[in-house]
């Protein structure tokens, strides 16, 4: 069938001929054999082209240009992020370098996919080295994306230098699920549509993707729940709680991104006409670019990041991140003098105490807390 024809003639043996009008659209050709116990073998050569040199469908024909343009957009984002890191090098954390690696890998993955789809457009197959390169960078991008999301959510290198054992377990689970998801995605795209293997790998891909999206949201929920309990007695935990609760808007953004790239995108693909399927790919990549941009802006390295900033008292109360009108309640303790907490910082109650800074041993950060206990 050449592009523009409105009729297709299908001929076969034993009265299997069919000649009738078909609307121009997107079609699959399946061979179904429904007789139990009957084995059939045949050889078929088929060539589908739009025009003289376009082996892609009408809806996929613009994909090489779409992937190339979005790769340039991500390249610009990578350059802007690299410039931000270099100008604020003193405040760069380890997670910022991972974010730079993520956007760079995403750029290379889109460029490789552009070359792969262009080769298929001209030659009608994917027997090119760009296919392996595209799959490799796609898999690495998936691993980095979910790892960065989980590490930002736990506050690694932003709020705490190390991961807890539970965070490490969740990270390991996310990485394993991403490996399974990447394998399923590759095999699904390379397996004939409609076969049992294709259906199986499609189901594995959906389950692994959903499980990975759920697992990456758990650490922040656990952290806020634990710190909410500890905040009643630990001033430092109270400060971290104030910071972590501000991550809720980030996780709302993550959930929105997951829904857009999973559920909304599937609905969009199902509703697009046959010659506009490339729009779903463009929307997906632009949504990813917007998500990367907002995330990078909120967590960019700064001397005082407004997104992570917590109001602090400027002298004795700075260790506890208390406001000017806040104090601690010591009714549960019989002591009437100043109570000493971690880091050797004194906290005054509403009672009037007259203690000079020069004579107070509690101002010494290196002193042992056993001196006042």
Structural domains present in the chain: 63-298 (1.20.1070), 315-373 (no CATH)
Assigned token pair, 207:
């389950």
Judged against a pLDDT cut of 70, whether residue 298 lies above it is answered with yes
Whether this model's pTM surpasses 0.75: no
Does the structure show a pLDDT above 50 at 365?
no
The more confidently predicted of residues 326 and 156 is: 156
Q: Which residue has the higher pLDDT, 135 or 336?
A: 135
Rounded Cα distance, 98 and 159, in Å: 16
Are 117 and 60 in contact, with CB atoms under 8 Å apart? yes
Look at residue 340 in the predicted model and tell me its pLDDT.
Answer: 37
Contacts of 107 (CB under 8 A, 6+ apart): 71, 74, 75, 78
Q: If you average pLDDT over every residue of the chain, what do you get?
A: 75
pLDDT on residue 231: 59
Q: What is the pLDDT of residue 72?
A: 98
CA pseudo-torsion sign 178, 181, 186, 189:
negative
Predicted local confidence at residue 161, as pLDDT: 72
Q: How far, in Å, are 67, 104, 141, 284, 287 from residue 71 at the CA level?
A: 6, 10, 13, 13, 13
pLDDT for 73 equals: 98
- Contact present, 81 and 294 (Cβ < 8 Å): no
Name which of 331, 332, 359, 361 is nearest 346 in CA terms.
Answer: 361
pLDDT in tens, 8-44: 445 544 444 445 566 777 777 777 778 888 888 888 7
- The phi, psi pair for 163, rounded to 5°, reads -95, 145
pLDDT at 216: 78
Phi first, then psi: give them for residue 252, nearest 5 degrees: -65, -40
pLDDT at 217: 78
Any idea what DSSP says for residue 315? S
Whether the pLDDT of residue 190 is over 60: the answer is: yes
Contact 97, 151 (CB under 8 A): no
């Amino acid at each position: 069938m050449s592009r523009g024809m409105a009729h297709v003639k299908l001929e076969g043996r034993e009265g299997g001929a069919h000649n009738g009008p078909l609307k121009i659209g997107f079609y699959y050709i399946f061979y179904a054999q429904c007789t139990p116990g009957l084995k059939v073998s045949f050889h078929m050569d088929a060539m589908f082209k739009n025009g003289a040199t376009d082996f892609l469908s009408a809806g996929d024909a613009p994909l090489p240009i779409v992937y190339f343009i979005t790769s340039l957009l991500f390249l610009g984002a990578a350059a802007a992020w690299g410039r931000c890191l270099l100008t604020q090098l003193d405040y760069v954390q380890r997670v910022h370098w991972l974010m730079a690696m993520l956007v760079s890998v995403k750029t290379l993955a889109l460029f490789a996919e552009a070359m792969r789809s262009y080769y298929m457009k001209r030659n009608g197959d994917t027997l090119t080295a760009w296919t392996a390169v595209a799959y490799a960078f796609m898999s690495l991008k998936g691993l980095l994306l979910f790892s960065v999301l989980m590490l930002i959510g736990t506050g690694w290198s932003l709020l705490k230098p190390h991961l807890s054992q539970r965070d490490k377990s969740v990270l390991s689970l996310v990485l394993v699920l991403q490996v399974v998801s990447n394998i399923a995605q590759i095999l699904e795209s390379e397996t004939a549509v409609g076969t049992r293997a294709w259906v199986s790998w499609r189901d594995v891909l959906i389950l692994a993707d959903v499980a990975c999206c759920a697992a990456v949201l758990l650490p922040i929920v656990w952290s806020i729940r634990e710190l909410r309990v500890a905040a009643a007695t630990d001033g430092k935990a109270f400060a971290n709680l104030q910071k972590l609760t501000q991550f809720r808007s980030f996780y709302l953004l993550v959930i929105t991104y997951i829904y857009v790239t999973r559920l909304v995108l599937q609905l969009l693909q199902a509703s697009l006409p046959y010659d506009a399927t490339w729009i779903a790919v463009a929307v997906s990549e632009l949504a990813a670019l917007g998500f990367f941009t907002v995330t990078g802006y909120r967590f960019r390295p700064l001397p005082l990041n407004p997104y992570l900033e917590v109001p602090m008292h400027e002298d004795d109360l700075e260790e506890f991140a208390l406001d000017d009108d806040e104090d601690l309640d010591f009714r549960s303790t019989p002591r009437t003098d100043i109570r000493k907490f971690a880091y050797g910082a004194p906290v005054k109650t509403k009672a009037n105490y007259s203690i000079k800074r020069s004579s107070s041993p509690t101002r010494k950060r290196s002193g042992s807390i056993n001196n006042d206990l």
